[in-house]
Amino acid sequence: MMEKELYDMLQKEDKIILSLISAAKFKQKVIVQNDFGGLERVNANESTLLSNLDKISRSQQKLVSRLFEINSLKENGKPRILSILVNEYKELFNPDKLKKINELRLKVRNRVKELTGLNHQNRFLIEHASSLVKETISLLLKSRKTSLIDRKI
């Protein structure tokens, strides 16, 4: 029963991460187009998705802790993580369900890597857009200080 719960949580997590990947790709377009309204909408959407992901992650952690408690697998009262549970206590699970859980867990991990890459690209775009704006302002301010005759065209 808990295996199904765990699998369902991983599926929800996967869907949210896919939505975050979509949002990150859309954010790139919004940044390039300089669409502040679009950026605000994307950020609000990402915030909601991250909040939902946090809830699922907490639920997943509670489930893993319950699995350890039920099977007397406590470790100094500290919560354990899913990968440890799956790898160290394979005999607790149905082998077919364990295989599905592991495949989904690895798919989620790969999607998180993809999302991380997209977020780094977005940060790069934002930093360069910001430096371009600063440079443009700096050039405009310098051009005001020089006389009309001395300005470079």
Contact 53, 17 (CB under 8 A): yes
Q: Which of 25-29, 76-80, 100-104, 136-140 has the highest mean pLDDT?
A: 25-29
**DSSP output for 41-90:** HHHHHHHHHHHHHHHHHHHHHHHHHHHHHHTT--BTTBPPPHHHHHHH-G
Rounded to 5°, the CA angle 6-12-17 comes to 125
Q: What is the predicted pLDDT for the residue at 111?
A: 95
* Domains of the chain, start order: 2-145 (1.20.58)
| Mean pLDDT within 73-94 | 60
